Every structure is written in structure tokens, then in C-alpha cells.
């Protein structure tokens, strides 16, 4: 078997360490070439230091190299991993600040709401060039994406590229490892069956590891009794609103409060935030941008300058491993492998959502493909939240590709956080001006 070539674009992100750890997990990566790509020389050096330090922990013959150019790194690549975006915190700050100036408030705007739309437009046009490079230099490679907003980007990949793409997120897997720990179990003790849009999956069923019977009723009872769903604790993801949604919609929303609320304009109003101890991340993003501190530095400082969260108890527990490398093993060895959540075409996983939309669904890797698994139909409320979001994914994809101002305005009009066409016009106009250096398809 030939040695694999894996290229990581955006290697200056924290995901490169997770990938490096997994390269030591299977003999298929022996003699592999791992190429780190980042535009920023300092981040590239930090990534190289972290990766080589991690790989030195076990005997291996993995060759690590660096490049600042896709054209140098991509030729011959079998797999491309992406975790890149420009000026992350600085741009996120303005994604929240601009709507606030017109009376539209979000706690977070990474994947949903007006902030998610703008985030998508910016990153789609970053990936437009990356996809063109992959098509030119490595047309047979798989793209394994970590960059958000995941559902928007994977929708664009589907509509406007021949590259085979998969979207990876640890939301379902990681959050249920933490939830298991919160409920006094070990990570991996709970097996979940869920589906939805990225950062808002809905729980269809849950079982204890290798269990034949559902423990859904037991799980829901434990959630209602646990302090972690009733109170806010420092450095622990909030789940008090998650419990409210569970009780209102009779279905558990996976993704913690700060993720699921991006798709839920019925979150507590701005007037309630202080009473609920809720605060927008606007100033947090501004502070992070001013510090110019990237995630690799933060990772090294956990437990020193930065407080390590109490959960997971052990961040290096095998359960919490990211999934690209195990997916590569499954594809290369044709070993049928189950994945509890991955961003691909629905293809019947959720029966009452269109087959062609991108959802976060369970899948099996077999026969050289990643194939969605049928889960069931969503009840009317969760279905509609997911349906309207997938419509926005498609509309934004087409609007950005074609530089269509009118269609983009429609996207903001249909965004559930926006309450009037005047507000939509003002937000899009301000976003367009502030992001004009990124929005090169808009004339």
C-alpha cells in the first residue's frame, strides 16, 4: 500500500494537534507525509512544533513538512483537512456588533442568525479558492472540513465543487461524553442516535454502551434532576435553556445553550439577559482579537493562565478523539465503520427533510463512501427549525457564488432573528461595507 499524503490547510488552528495524535493510532499512517499549510509563518512554526512534539511520543516514520502555498502542498494529496478562516475573533466581533447597532441582538453568531450568514459568506469565498486549488492539484482527494459555519460550507461544497467533502464536528460526540461525565458515567457510556443541522442535533434515542434497550426515559429524568441543567457554573457549558427547549418541544436539543440558541430567536429577550446571567460574546471576541492569541497558545496555557474546564476530566481520553483519521482508515481499508454524526447529504436520514440538504447525521463508512443512516422523522417544531435553516444554507450558497445582492437581502429577511425589511437592509448594507475585502463576488 502506498504511503498516504495528508495536507492540513489552516494548520495553525488547534485541530492540528488532534489530527497528529490520531496519526499514531493505526499502521496505515506509517510513512505518511503530513504537510502543514498556513498563511501565517508564526502559526505554521507553532503548528510544526506541536505536531513534531506529539509525534515524538511514539515510534513512527511520518514525514512532517510545512508550506505557505496550496500549490506546493497539494499535488499528490490523498486527503485534505481544513480548519482555516481569516481574522477569526476580529471578524466575529463585527458579526455581532453590526446587528446590535440596528437592534438585533445575538449571544453568539457563528452558525446561525445574521452573524452566521455573514460568517458563511466570508468563509465560502475563502473556500472557493481552496476548492479550486484542490480541483487543480489533487482532484481525487477527500476534503475533511472542520471550519464553521459547517452546514453553510458543506452546502456550498455540494453545490459548487466536484471535490468529495465531509464535515467533521465534535458537537454530538464530545458533548455527550461531557454529559455522561456530568451524570456520573464515563465518556462513551452513552450511545446516541440523533440528527439535525450542525450545532443543533435532536436526540431520537439513547442507550447505554452495548445496551439493547433505550434508556431515553432514564436519561431525561437524570437531566431534570441534575444541577448542571438548572444552574450556571463557571467554565462549564450552560444547559439551562436546553432544558427549557426540551420541556417545550419534548425533544432533547444537542449542542449546549450557546450553540442551539443561534437557531432559536425565541431565546430569552435582551431585557431578560441580565436576570438570566447571559451576556453576548461581542466584547469577548474583541478582547481575543486585541490579544492576537491563537488557539495553539491557549492549549499550551490551559491550567496556567487559562482555567481548564472540569469536564472532560481527561481531555486525552480516547473517546474524545476527532474522527478524520478513523474515517481515513475506514476508507483506505474498506472496514465498515459507524460514525455517530457527520455533515453530509441527508439522503433519507431524516425522512421529512429534503434528501439533498446537508444535515448532521449518523453514517456508516463502507464501499468507499460515507452513507447516511435512516433515523426517522422529526416532530413538527424541530423539523421546522431545521427546514428553515437548510433553506438559508442553500440561498446563501447561491447568493455568495453569484454575488447576488437581492438574494442576499432575502436571506437576511428570512433570518428568524431579523424583524423587518428595514433592519435586514441596514444590516446587510453595513456587513457588505465592512467585509468588502472578502466579498469579491459582489460587484
Bridge partners (DSSP) of residue 342 are: 361
CA distance 71 to 93: 32
Residues of the chain with pLDDT > 90: what percent? 90
> What is the C-alpha separation between 167 and 149, in angstroms, rounded?
10
| pLDDT at position 25 over 60 | yes
> CB–CB of 83/16 below 8 Å?
yes
Angle at 322 between CA 118 and CA 370, to 5 degrees: 80
For residue 302, pLDDT over 50 is answered with: no
For 252-281, write each residue's pLDDT tens digit: 999 999 999 999 999 999 999 999 999 999
8 A C-beta contact, residue 14 and residue 42: no
Summarize pLDDT for 321-344 with one digit per residue, the tens.
999 999 999 999 999 999 999 999
**Residue range 356-374: mean pLDDT, rounded:** 98
Tens digit of each residue's pLDDT (9 = 90 or more) over 111-149? 999 999 999 999 999 999 999 999 999 999 999 999 999
Helix (H) or strand (E) segment spanning residue 276? helix 270-276
pLDDT confidence tier of residue 234, bands split at 50, 70 and 90 = confident
Query: Taking a C-beta distance cutoff of 8 angstroms, is the pair 191, 250 a contact?
Result: no
Contact 325, 146 (CB under 8 A): no
Query: Which residue blocks in 337-404 are alpha helix, DSSP H?
Result: 380-402
Nearest by Cα to 255 from 315, 246, 216: 246
Domains (ranges, CATH) in the chain? Answer: 85-443 (3.90.1820.10)
Q: What is this structure's pTM?
A: 0.96
| Non-local CB neighbours of 58 within 8 Å, separated by 6+ positions | 24
Range 301-319 average pLDDT = 75
Written as one string, the DSSP assignment of 282-348 is: HHHHHHHHHHT--HHHHHHHBTTTBPPPSSSS-TT-GGG--SHHHHHHHHHHT--EEEEEEEEE-TT
The answer to whether residue 301 scores a pLDDT higher than 50 is no
Tens-place pLDDT, residues 396-443: 999 999 999 999 999 999 999 999 999 999 999 999 999 999 999 998
Nearest to 145 by CA among 202, 204, 83, 101: 83
Contacts of 29 (CB under 8 A, 6+ apart): 4, 23, 60, 62, 325
Do 117 and 415 touch, CB atoms closer than 8 A?
yes
pLDDT tens profile 200-215: 999 999 999 878 899 9
Rounded to the nearest 5°, which phi and psi values hold at 386?
Answer: -70, -40
Amino acid at each position: 500500500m502506498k504511503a498516504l499524503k495528508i495536507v492540513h490547510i489552516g494548520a495553525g488552528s488547534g485541530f492540528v494537534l488532534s489530527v497528529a495524535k490520531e496519526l499514531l493510532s493505526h499502521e496505515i499512517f506509517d510513512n505518511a507525509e503530513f504537510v502543514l499549510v498556513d498563511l501565517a509563518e508564526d502559526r505554521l512554526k507553532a503548528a510544526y512544533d506541536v505536531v513534531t512534539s506529539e509525534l515524538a511520543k511514539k515510534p513512527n516514520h511520518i514525514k512532517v513538512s510545512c508550506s505557505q502555498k496550496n500549490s506546493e502542498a497539494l499535488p499528490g494529496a490523498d486527503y485534505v483537512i481544513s480548519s482555516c478562516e481569516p481574522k477569526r475573533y476580529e471578524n466575529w466581533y463585527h458579526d455581532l456588533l453590526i446587528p446590535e447597532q440596528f437592534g438585533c441582538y445575538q449571544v453568539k453568531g457563528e452558525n446561525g442568525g445574521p452573524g452566521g450568514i455573514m460568517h458563511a459568506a466570508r468563509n465560502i469565498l475563502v473556500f472557493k479558492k481552496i476548492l479550486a486549488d484542490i480541483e487543480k492539484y489533487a482532484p481525487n482527494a477527500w476534503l475533511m472540513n472542520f471550519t464553521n459555519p459547517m452546514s453553510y460550507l458543506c452546502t456550498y461544497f455540494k453545490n459548487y465543487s466536484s471535490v468529495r467533502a465531509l464535515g467533521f464536528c465534535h458537537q454530538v460526540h464530545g458533548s455527550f461524553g461531557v454529559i455522561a461525565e456530568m451524570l456520573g458515567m464515563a465518556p462513551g457510556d452513552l450511545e446516541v442516535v440523533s440528527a439535525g443541522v450542525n450545532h443543533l442535533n435532536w436526540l431520537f434515542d439513547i442507550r447505554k454502551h452495548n445496551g439493547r434497550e433505550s434508556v431515553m426515559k432514564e436519561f431525561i429524568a437524570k437531566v431534570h434532576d441534575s444541577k448542571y441543567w438548572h444552574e450556571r457554573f463557571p467554565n462549564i457549558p450552560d444547559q439551562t435553556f436546553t432544558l427549557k427547549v426540551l420541556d417545550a418541544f419534548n425533544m432533547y436539543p444537542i449542542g449546549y445553550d450557546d450553540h442551539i440558541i443561534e437557531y432559536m430567536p425565541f431565546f430569552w429577550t435582551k431585557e431578560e439577559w441580565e436576570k438570566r446571567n447571559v451576556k453576548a460574546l461581542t466584547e469577548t471576541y474583541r478582547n481575543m482579537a486585541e490579544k492576537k492569541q491563537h488557539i495553539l497558545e491557549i492549549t499550551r496555557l490551559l491550567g496556567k493562565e487559562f482555567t481548564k474546564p472540569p469536564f472532560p476530566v481527561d481531555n486525552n481520553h480516547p473517546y474524545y478523539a476527532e474522527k478524520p483519521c478513523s474515517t481515513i482508515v475506514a476508507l483506505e481499508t474498506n472496514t465498515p465503520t459507524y460514525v455517530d454524526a457527520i455533515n453530509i447529504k441527508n439522503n433519507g436520514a431524516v425522512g421529512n427533510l429534503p434528501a439533498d440538504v446537508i444535515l448532521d447525521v449518523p453514517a456508516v463508512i463502507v464501499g468507499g463512501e460515507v452513507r447516511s443512516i435512516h433515523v426517522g422523522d422529526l416532530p413538527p417544531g424541530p423539523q421546522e427549525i431545521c427546514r428553515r435553516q437548510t433553506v438559508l444554507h442553500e440561498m446563501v450558497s447561491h447568493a455568495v457564488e453569484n454575488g447576488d445582492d437581492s438574494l442576499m437581502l432575502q436571506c437576511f429577511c428570512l433570518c428568524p432573528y431579523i424583524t423587518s425589511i428595514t433592519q435586514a437592509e441596514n444590516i446587510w448594507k453595513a456587513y457588505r461595507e465592512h467585509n468588502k475585502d472578502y466579498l469579491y463576488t459582489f460587484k
